[in-house]
Chains A and B, each alone.
Chain A
């Protein structure tokens, strides 16, 4: 045993596996099971203090912590990238507290925690996708009273949700909502998909993977079980469109992945690259193979 892994063993003794104590995990697992039974329904849970501030994905981290098993292979992304500060620190956190294997490859991961994106690579059965959610209530900005929004969900009174889309079209001539575009889960609850671009919405539909959502500050957990119908809300004459910038990635040349706009020179020249760094790498590899 080398010096390095000795230290790791030490850490594991200091922290319970994956940081949270077993009672807390059990409480979160109960909430998760309930959430899976009622797709899209927001289950309250008593969120714990985590060693990082809200807004850093404390809800997602608690869900991940409750789901992790030692043989998991973990991937963490922020805006599609594995190498941003947020993603790196969460990945390190679980390496340290759970000593699990980590990967950047979407297809190798058994559990993926994400902020603001769904990976481009199609997810598979038995994979778990954990979303970090800032505001779980899709009706929040329309109806601030929690008692009222709960009732609206219970009675599926979603007229107001359509009012929001109506306002968008009235103001902009099209549905302007580009992120956190509301969906109806299993034909029942209107659900906030977290601030993913609406380009990703179709990936939620009928996905073989388990999708779990954790909101730490708001203390809510919700879930979409595998192969669940997830439909983006729209009007007959203004159908939902999964839009993205109409360019090619300047690294891998892909035209079907979601792109980030970057400024590449001092005079403001713009370029577009895949937001999903793993996908971009894979595409680049494929391209060079083809050329060989």
Chain B
């Protein structure tokens, strides 16, 4: 028993040390984010940081504030309190809550990406697959049709959609294909940080597994950092390096993924973990 406690303590100390070291070349940092919907708490006093190439999982039950937090830190929702910092490509630190809207939208288009749970929210359904992938390229100034098409074809291959479907509309795709197309459309400009809200939420289990596998490989291959919101602990176990657990808008536990899942400290996290294991 004592040995167990001891190990645990040293683990935590090690972890804290690592965090301190990492902070110096952080990619993204949110501090004390609060968002209220009138009387309702969306999320409260949440801080997190993300290092280059790292995957952060946000877990918690329905209504715990995961989507609210994600939309706040992506810049989609205006925060009531707190600051959001991005260490941009030129190593200048930008505060999302202070920069102008054009600048923010430019960053959202180049450095960041957002994958919606429902592919319909993240795709243009009446535009061909190639056009969907090409849009972000054209938005940042690509003006060569042949090149754009070639890049789109390469990405279809990467997400395992037959290149012959390049001129088909997403409405003719299955749910899993649509989600893979959405991922390609977001990754094509090689953002440094990608936000995902339940990216496999609406899909059946075998399709989910394939997409998760794909995501894991792409994120590793490209060295992209990611924040992934899910209520599925299997998803975070597969993808995330670190996780935060939310309840009622608060972060109640944070740590390395394996650590939290194998040895949850907070009562609620314990419940969350055990409820999954029982299934």
> Do the two chains belong together in a single complex?
yes
Given contacts A155-B101, A157-B105, A171-B167, contact A166 B136 (CB under 8 A): no
B143 within 8 A of A: yes
Given contacts A237-B145, A238-B145, contact A159 B101 (CB under 8 A): no
Chain A: interface residue total (CB-CB under 8 A): 17
- Minimal Cβ-Cβ distance residue in A for B103: A155
Chain A interface helix/strand/loop/mixed: helix
Residues A125-183 near B (CB distance < 8 A): 154-155, 157-160, 162-163, 166-167, 169-171
Whether A159 lies near B139 (C-beta < 8 A) is yes
* Cα of A47 to Cα of B167 in the assembled complex, Å: 41
- Minimal Cβ-Cβ distance residue in B for A175: B145
Residues B146-195 near A (CB distance < 8 A): 146, 148-149, 166-167
* Cα of A238 to Cα of B124 in the assembled complex, Å: 24
A37 to chain B, nearest CB (A): 21
What B residues does A155 contact at CB under 8 A? 101-102, 105-106
What A residues does B106 contact at CB under 8 A? 155
What A residues does B278 contact at CB under 8 A? none
Whether B102 lies near A170 (C-beta < 8 A) is no
A291 within 8 A of B: no
In the complex, the number of residue pairs spanning A and B with C-beta atoms less than 8 Å apart equals 55
Question: Which of the residues A157, A160, A166, A171 comes within 8 Å of B148, measured between beta carbons?
Answer: A166
Whether B143 lies near A235 (C-beta < 8 A) is yes
What B residues does A158 contact at CB under 8 A? 139
* Cα of A154 to Cα of B145 in the assembled complex, Å: 26
* Cα of A158 to Cα of B142 in the assembled complex, Å: 11
* Cα of A95 to Cα of B127 in the assembled complex, Å: 48
What A residues does B137 contact at CB under 8 A? 159
B46 to chain A, nearest CB (A): 28
Whether A170 lies near B128 (C-beta < 8 A) is yes
A232 to chain B, nearest CB (A): 13
Whether A236 lies near B135 (C-beta < 8 A) is no
What A residues does B77 contact at CB under 8 A? none
Given contacts A171-B167, A236-B144, contact A166 B134 (CB under 8 A): yes
B234 within 8 A of A: no
- Minimal Cβ-Cβ distance residue in B for A154: B102
What A residues does B145 contact at CB under 8 A? 166, 169, 235-238
* Cα of A235 to Cα of B144 in the assembled complex, Å: 5
B65 within 8 A of A: no
- Minimal Cβ-Cβ distance residue in B for A160: B135
Given contacts A167-B128, A170-B130, A170-B131, contact A157 B144 (CB under 8 A): no
Whether A162 lies near B128 (C-beta < 8 A) is no
* Cα of A162 to Cα of B127 in the assembled complex, Å: 12
- Minimal Cβ-Cβ distance residue in B for A159: B139
A240 to chain B, nearest CB (A): 12
* Cα of A183 to Cα of B148 in the assembled complex, Å: 21
Whether B143 lies near A166 (C-beta < 8 A) is no
Whether B167 lies near A163 (C-beta < 8 A) is no
B138 within 8 A of A: yes
Q: Which of B138, B140, B146 has the most CB of A within 10 A?
A: B138
What A residues does B166 contact at CB under 8 A? 170
Whether A166 lies near B138 (C-beta < 8 A) is yes
Whether B144 lies near A237 (C-beta < 8 A) is yes
What A residues does B148 contact at CB under 8 A? 166
Whether B138 lies near A163 (C-beta < 8 A) is yes
What A residues does B149 contact at CB under 8 A? 166, 170
Given contacts A170-B149, A171-B167, A236-B144, contact A163 B135 (CB under 8 A): yes
Q: Chain B, 63-86, contact with A by CB distance < 8 Å: what is the 0/1 string?
A: 000000000000000000000000
Nearest first, the 7 A-B pairs at minimum CB distance are A159-B139, A162-B138, A235-B145, A159-B138, A155-B102, A236-B144, A163-B131
13 contacts between A and B (CB under 8 A): A159-B136, A159-B138, A159-B139, A160-B135, A160-B139, A163-B124, A163-B135, A163-B138, A166-B131, A166-B134, A170-B167, A235-B144, A236-B145
